[in-house]
Amino acid sequence: MTNRRKFLSQLSLATAGVSFLPSYLQASSTIFSGASLVEEFVSAETTYGKIKGFRTEGVNIFKGIPYAGRISGDRRFRRPAPLEPWTGVKDTLTLGAPAIQAPRRNEPAPSEDCLFLNVWTPANDNKKRPVMFYNHGGGFVIGSGGSASQDGANLARNFDVVVVETNHRLGLMGFLYLEQLAGADYEGSGNNGMLDIVDGLKWVHDNIAQFGGDPNNVMIWGESGGGAKTSCLYAMPSAAPYFNKASIESGPGVRMMDKETAHENTLQLLKEFNISTQDWKKLLDIPAADLLAMQAKLPLVPPFQEKNKASAAGLMRRNAGAFGPVVDGKALPYHPFDPTAPAISKNKPLLVGWNEDEYTFFAWERKDTESFKMDFEALANKLEPQYKKDTAKLIDTYRKANPSATAPDIFVAISSITMMGLGSVEIAEKKVKQNGAPVYLYNFGYKSEVKIPGTDYAMGTPHAMDISFKFNNESANKASFFGGNRPEKAQASHYFAELWTNFAKTGKPFAKDAPEWKAYNLKDRPTMRIDSKLEVIHDRFKQELSVWRELGKLS
């Protein structure tokens, strides 16, 4: 049980193994590349000074707004220096630097000083629109608030909301736990990346009214690593005053790293650099590129340890080598959803769910073609090292629940639900037991016809495909990287965005001409399946979840 929980909750840490993403996820939209795209320049007052953005196609866009101060030099691994006010008007027309990582297409060079945010709004008026504050994915090691698939213009334009996205520290720059070595100045160092996001939320609270947003109606949401970030924020006292609803998408953060493991990881880093604990400050002088290179050499958490099955269980227990949020008793007092849903957010509505075919993304990323050639004997051989004597029971249950499924179908189903589904259900059930605000469970199920390279197997609904859909960035007449060519994807995208923006507005997800999506409960367990048609399914995956409970993989 403990191993399973740690695996599920640390899944967003595991996405550190995603070394690259498709261009549509990485590349920034070229929103400002010349006057031809700008209808007019617009300005806004902030608490630090006046900024200039631009208006295009009914949306005001501000890119690269600084929300906190310097984090380089003597501020490395510390809270930011105070942001200095400026005189005159600061241009916020292009993206700010992303956090230290490999270069990102169509974005500035990564930099230690990366605390910038982007705002999309229908107008800088006094209208109190709901604010949708998005946490980007990429585990805790890559990504930015400027990826093309999560461009916020369509949400702002089509649904009358304000969208905000931040860059924040990632990897060991954002999560190196130094408290046991470095003292009071480095308190919270194991959660700097999360505390940066809190600073972004504070900026929203203080400034978003100038952008037509309501500082008292803020939704936090995020996918994959962004879902895990949202899970953490849901449990962080410093974040609590600045949002009132949340959505955790394909990244259930049930548990995070404990202090002991985080300290071990710090010692391992020092050892790799041949630095004694007394000389830990030498880390401040190492070029960021060298730190990034060392981060890539350190071991990763599952599921990216498959080549060494014997060590996987131990890594699940220790989370060795990973950098992510730390349950330090202060910034993150407890695990987000273990043993219970966080009391601090008892009265904040929650959305949680996952994509039906999460694993196909990882098959694509790892160039896994063999999994789609299996027969049922090969399937049993593939699952046996992990599930041992329970393998036959597991396969038998899935075959009875899905009579027409092939061996690859069942492998994808098992892999997808263990990656993202069980943790999502656990979060929903713990939220229900809290007897507070409602929680709504969903599955995204629109099926892409795009094939996994080297196979005849369709991607279906892979991990990360939901991003462009929920941002209403899929169209009927334009193909997308994962979404494919079928025109129905535009309707699925509209429904996804409509449900989420109505949740942002009211705390209840609904869409026109759609069945009522009732709050999750432990009696009939309503789950919304999102596709080109919306369907509420009661007690979905009943047989499959029953066997996971029986095997002790779901509490």
The CA distance from 442 to 521, in Å, is 13
The CA distance from 79 to 186, in Å, is 8
The CA distance from 36 to 184, in Å, is 51
The candidate with the shortest Cα–Cα distance to 91, out of 161, 37, 23, 32, is 32
Give the CA radius of gyration of the chain.
Answer: 22
The candidate with the shortest Cα–Cα distance to 461, out of 475, 450, 472, 453, is 450
Backbone angles phi, psi at 117, to 5 degrees: -135, 165
Strand residue runs (E) in 362-466: 439-444, 448-451, 458-460
Give the end-to-end CA distance of the chain in Å, rounded to a whole number: 8
Structure tokens that stand for 360 in this block: 């196909």
407-416 helix and 391-401 helix, angle to the nearest 10 degrees: 110
Question: At 427, which helix (H) or strand (E)?
Answer: helix 422-433
Only one residue has tokens 């990881």, namely 265
The candidate with the shortest Cα–Cα distance to 158, out of 482, 544, 471, 419, is 471
- Could you give the count of Cα atoms lying within 13 Å of 166 in the half-sphere of its Cβ? 29
Is the distance from CB of 121 to CB of 59 less than 8 angstroms?
yes
Buried b / exposed e over 279-309, threshold 16 CB at 10 Å, is ebeebeeeebeebbeebeebbbbbbbbeeee
**Sign of the torsion formed by the C-alpha atoms of 231, 46, 25 and 508:** positive
Reading phi first (left if > 0) and then psi (alpha if -120 to 50, else beta), residue 367 is in left
DSSP 266-295: HHHHHHHTT--GGGGGGGGTS-HHHHHHHH
Active site residues: 224
43 pairs with which residues across the strands? 52
